[in-house]
Amino acid sequence: MAAAQHLIDDLMARAVAEFDTNPLCGQLLRRLSNEVPDQFCMAALEYLASNENSNFHRLLSILMLRQPSIYDQLMNPLYGSKQRAIHLFRRLLAVDPSFDLKLARRLPDKHGGQAFCDSQSAARGIEILDEASSGRRLLPILGHLVHSEDVRISAKATLLVGRRLQNPEWAARQLKRDDARIRANAIESIWGLKSPRAKTLLEQCLTDSSGRVKGNSLVGLHLIGESGVAPQVGLLAANSDYGLRSTAAWTMGRIGDPCFMPNLNALIRDDHPQVRGAALRSLIEIRRIESKTAHALAARAEEAARAAPEVVAEKVAKAADAFGAIDIHLDGSSYAMGSRG
């Protein structure tokens, strides 16, 4: 089998190299997909994981759509990360605009039948569709999954449906559910809504018994520009419950404000590993955001240099001083942060 796969890999490499000049390459790929589908899929997926777009990649996508195993490749978490699955799905959707409907119909139907996948795969499928299929056209197919007896599926469906409805009243009905994941996703589904009802709902959920719901409510309030969010996150960070401290650390990273650096500096030394892990991830996220900001400043400075060379030096210096520099040093037991100025 290994030898056969090696041969398929060699043939695929030759096909990609000669695809635009050798008309036999397309015939070769079609033959491989029909005669040795498993080996073909393994080789094709390596090429489709890239960001390259060519006639070769388009044909691979068309041939992969004909493979019965493609749904398992997308939905089964054992085959790779969610981001890998979303990337592959988007490639296939670009070739077949109805592929999102086909994937949606692989999920349990309204009568509990048509179960082509297990709970984990169904949840992954909903995540892919939520991320990569826009609009409301999936609601007639997937709307019933909000009320699935499988809480994992119900929570994922709540986020997908809620994001497309953007309706505070609908979200409020989901907040009566017992499972915290469902309530948290209902709140996340109205992020960005600035209506009085949405704001009231976010404020009410600050008293929810679940840290996840509280965290999502704080992020939602931040996104609509409400003041006083940072002090409330700080109070969570000082709570005696490690779950709430972990929520605080996650919330800081999701908001992405450098003002939380001192809090995260303390939380990374927390007694509980869950809190330390959340704090580290948030520190990295905030550093990533600031790095993007630095690149944006540099790009704007370069543009200004072309337009007005005589003033750019002063602007760049001011921007650099305002931004400063942050370094994260991790040796497994310590964390240090330093900045200029």
Kindly give, in sequence order, each residue whose CB lies less than 8 Å from that of residue 83, ignoring residues fewer than 6 positions away. Answer: none
pLDDT category at 314 given cuts 50, 70, 90 is: low
Residue 195: is its pLDDT beyond 60? yes
Residue 254: is its pLDDT beyond 80? yes
Average pLDDT over residues 198-211: 96
Residue 340: is its pLDDT beyond 50? no
pLDDT value of residue 341: 41
Average pLDDT over residues 80-104: 97
pLDDT category at 307 given cuts 50, 70, 90 is: low
Rounded Cα distance between 201 and 230, Å, is 19
Average pLDDT over residues 252-276: 96
Average pLDDT over residues 24-30: 94
Q: Which long-range contacts (CB under 8 A, 24 or more apart) does 128-131 make?
A: 128/74, 128/75, 128/82, 128/85, 128/86, 128/89, 128/103, 129/100, 129/103, 129/104, 129/160, 130/156, 130/159, 130/160, 130/163, 131/86
Question: If residue 6 lies in a helix (H) or strand (E), which one and from where to where?
Answer: helix 2-18
> Residue 279's closest CA among 259, 252, 299, 256?
252
Rounded Cα distance between 166 and 182, Å, is 15
pLDDT digits (tens, 9 = 90+) for 141-154: 999 999 999 999 99
| Pairing mode of beta strands 329-330, 335-336 | antiparallel
Instruction: Supply the mean pLDDT for the chain.
Output: 88
Phi, psi of 291 (to 5 degrees): -65, -40
pLDDT category at 117 given cuts 50, 70, 90 is: confident
Residue 296: is its pLDDT beyond 70? no
Rounded Cα distance between 228 and 11, Å, is 61
Residue 316: is its pLDDT beyond 50? no
| Residue scoring higher pLDDT (66 or 339) | 66
